[in-house]
A = this chain, B = another copy of it.
């Protein structure tokens, strides 16, 4: 794909403009999967572009999504004076300096209806168990919770985060994995003042260290 075979620091050498769709598509690719808003500076650093270029691309994408401009096939550059197309179902917003793609506000009713469908007010057993593990072993990574529960917990952790019961507690300095902890909303729902007030578990349960060894041995 790229001819960075001679790249000493392969990372630094990547030229996004050689990729299909160019730098603009690269910015788009990142924005599309990014959970947290990113600043132009953060984007520029990861993309090997200058902040000025990223800012121009962001503005271009924003206009494109809003339907004000479309890159015509026979033009080399997008033009503001270009023809107008329909707006997309999503928009690029800059909130407090961070950029993120959201669903377009016009569709809030439809999206809201879609989101609510099939939502229950109760946590599933899987979600409860995962919450219990996080509560007693926090701060803990998803991989560790998976190891303890024996199943993949990614989507359950997302649900718990969405429900405001658990939150990001920084990253593990060693593995770089995101760690999770329970929130004050969780304490509120439990009716306790702090995690220290959670009932003690029976002492025969292996500590986190024990579990770690036990399960890591099985990891391939």
Binds B, one of A145-153, A195-203, A205-213: A145-153
State the Cβ distance, A111 to closest chain B Cβ, in Å: 5
Residues of B within 8 A of A16 (CB): 107, 110
What is the total number of copies of this protein in its complex? 2
* Interface contact B90-A28, CB-CB below 8 Å: yes
Contact string against B for A residues 123-139, beta-carbon threshold 8 Å, 1 for contact and 0 otherwise: 11011000000000000
B151 touches A47 (CB 8 A): no
Q: B85 and A185: CB pair below 8 A?
A: no
B30 near A103 with CB under 8 A, answer: yes
Bound Cα distance A164, B33 (Å): 17
Q: With A114-B38, A162-B146 known to touch, is A19 a contact of B107 (CB < 8 Å)?
A: yes
10 A-B pairs, CB-CB below 8 angstroms? A26-B107, A30-B89, A32-B102, A32-B103, A33-B90, A33-B114, A47-B114, A71-B86, A155-B217, A159-B220
